[in-house]
């Protein structure tokens, strides 16, 4: 072919086939039990009384980055189960006044578990970082699929709305407002089911309480959040998350959001916008679906659909088998391609090339730091205030191990021994330590945030 012209490809040309971003299925097969039988024989056995720590995990691949945390795929060395591990640099959290949010997220995640949430399995720390090890969901987030121009059908969006309704109903039973429901925070598993993640700005409100802080991502925030910030008043409650579900559903179906809102918009202008602009629905959408979206995108929270009971009464969801859905027995309409890793490949390059404190070099770095700290006079500390904050985090951070917790619960639920063996069963057992009360270092690093 002439210079600059693409070469014609015939159907038999192997190079004509689109190559996946990452040979994910081959990689998983390589990591499977059958292919690592030799490694299985050398599988480490950790002392059950030992707290879980960084050495218990093998770092496999970087897959994401948030505002102050990064995410990688890890494998637990003893069980060989794979998870996602989020890690947050302590010094950066202090400098950005995010310590309180991290501690609140941990407090929430340690107390909840649901089929449509991204659940916490372990939390631990070292001198540099705080770690959260959570469910690994390989289907990517909905923002990624929107950017890949996936066309979501009404039935697919209906499933996501129902799964989020079950998740939000559970969170309400635990007195939790998520405050950041959006496509970026909804992850798909390999079958295509939706899971809500990122409780970084979630808050707990008891009966009768109201939240007042301006918190969330502006295009998905309910009108009453802005109104409360500008005009004061009674604050807001669980209804704000259901508004966000309405915005998300509209965006998945149409490709853009119902209101043209950006992070740069002034809060005062947004209060005005909700009272003057009406949402435009596509004429091709079913009337039942539009009716539900209208109820979710109702500006007045008192008239908004904001409970599982409201959703179950909607004509669009009349035929939903809720019991089967809650057990993931309803087949999703959109199944992510299993042949690729659904994330931006630059995360891996950034970790390898640009990161000043790469995770895979942590062990050597910490050993070097400990040696240097041991030889340095404590009076020569460069920043006593920073060190006080780091010491407070070290002291107040709560270590969590759901695997160990589940084992304890299983043992507790076992039937009591027969009377003749009861005496033997009364031998003292090692009791779990009481969890340390969560107290963020507000006195040392006060936070301006509030619920």
Going by their DSSP bridges, the two strands 69-76 and 82-89 should be labelled as: antiparallel
Using an 8 Å Cβ cutoff, are 401 and 51 in contact?
yes
| Residue 29 labeled ligand binder | no
CA atoms within 13 A on the CB side of 12: 0
Cα–Cα distances (Å) from 356 to 60, 73, 361, 399, in that order, read 19, 20, 10, 26
**Which string of DSSP letters, residue by residue, matches 253-322?**
HHSS-SS---TTS-HHHHHHHHHH--PPPPTTS-HHHHHHHHHHT-SSGGGS--SHHHHHTSGGGTT--H
188 forms beta bridges with 194
The residues, ordered by sequence, that sit 6+ positions from 168 with a Cβ below 8 Å of its Cβ are 178, 181, 196, 238, 241, 242, 245, 308
Using an 8 Å Cβ cutoff, are 174 and 146 in contact?
no
The residues, ordered by sequence, that sit 6+ positions from 167 with a Cβ below 8 Å of its Cβ are 114, 116, 117, 195, 196
Task: Measure the CA–CA gap between 99 and 107, rounded to whole angstroms.
Answer: 12
Using an 8 Å Cβ cutoff, are 246 and 223 in contact?
no
Annotated catalytic residues are 180
Using an 8 Å Cβ cutoff, are 108 and 155 in contact?
no
Using an 8 Å Cβ cutoff, are 410 and 370 in contact?
no
User: In the 8-state DSSP scheme, what is residue 15?
Assistant: G
- In this structure, the chain runs to a length of 451
Q: Coil, helix or strand for 286?
A: coil
Cα–Cα distances (Å) from 353 to 60, 343, 428, in that order, read 16, 18, 53
CB atoms closer than 10 angstroms to residue 320? 18
Task: Measure the CA–CA gap between 121 and 223, rounded to whole angstroms.
Answer: 35
The residues, ordered by sequence, that sit 6+ positions from 28 with a Cβ below 8 Å of its Cβ are none
| Residue appearing with tokens 């637990």 | 76
Task: Measure the CA–CA gap between 231 and 243, rounded to whole angstroms.
Answer: 20
Q: How far apart are the first and last CA of the chain?
A: 65
Q: Annotated binding site: which residue ranges?
A: 86
Q: Annotated binding site for ATP: which residue ranges?
A: 86
């Amino acid at each position: 072919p002439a210079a600059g012209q693409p070469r014609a490809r015939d159907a038999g040309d192997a190079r004509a086939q689109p190559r996946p971003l990452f040979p994910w299925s081959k990689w998983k097969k390589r990591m499977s039990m059958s292919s690592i039988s030799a490694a299985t024989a050398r599988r480490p056995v950790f002392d059950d009384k030992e707290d879980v720590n960084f050495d218990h995990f093998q770092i496999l691949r970087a897959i994401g980055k948030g505002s102050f945390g990064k995410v990688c795929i890890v494998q637990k060395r003893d069980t060989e189960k794979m998870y996602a591990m989020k890690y947050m640099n302590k010094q950066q959290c202090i400098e950005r006044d995010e310590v309180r949010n991290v501690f609140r997220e941990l407090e929430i995640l340690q107390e909840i578990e649901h089929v449509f949430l991204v659940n916490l399995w372990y939390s631990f720390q070292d001198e540099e970082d705080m770690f959260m090890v959570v469910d690994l969901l390989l289907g990517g987030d909905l923002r990624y699929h929107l950017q890949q121009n996936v066309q979501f059908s009404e039935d697919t969006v209906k499933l996501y709305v129902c799964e989020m309704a079950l998740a939000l109903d559970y969170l309400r039973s635990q007195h939790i407002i998520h405050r950041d429901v959006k496509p970026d925070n909804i992850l798909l598993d390999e079958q295509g089911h939706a899971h809500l993640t990122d409780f970084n700005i979630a808050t707990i409100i008891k009966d009768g309480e109201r939240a007042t802080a301006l918190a969330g991502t502006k295009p998905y925030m309910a009108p009453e959040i802005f109104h409360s910030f500008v005009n004061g008043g009674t604050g807001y409650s669980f209804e704000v998350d259901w508004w966000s579900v309405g915005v998300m559903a509209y965006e998945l179906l149409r490709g853009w959001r119902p209101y043209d809102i950006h992070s740069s918009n002034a809060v005062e202008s947004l209060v005005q916008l909700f009272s003057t602009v009406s949402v435009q629905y596509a004429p091709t959408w079913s009337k039942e679906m539009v009716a539900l979206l209208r109820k979710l995108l109702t500006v007045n929270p008192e008239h908004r659909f904001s409970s599982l009971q409201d959703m179950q009464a909607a004509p669009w969801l009349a035929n939903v088998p809720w019991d089967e859905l809650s057990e993931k027995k309803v087949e999703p309409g959109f199944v992510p391609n299993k042949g690729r890793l659904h994330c931006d490949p630059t995360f891996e390059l950034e970790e390898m090339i640009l990161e000043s404190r790469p995770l895979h070099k942590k062990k050597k770095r910490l050993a070097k730091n400990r040696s240097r700290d041991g030889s340095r006079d404590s009076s020569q500390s460069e920043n006593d205030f920073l060190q006080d904050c780091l010491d407070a985090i070290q002291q107040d951070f709560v270590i969590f191990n759901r695997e160990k917790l589940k084992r304890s619960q299983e043992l507790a639920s076992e039937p009591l021994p027969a009377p003749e063996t009861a005496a033997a069963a009364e031998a003292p057992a090692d009791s779990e330590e009481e969890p340390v009360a969560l107290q963020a270092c507000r006195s040392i690093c006060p936070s301006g945030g509030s619920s």
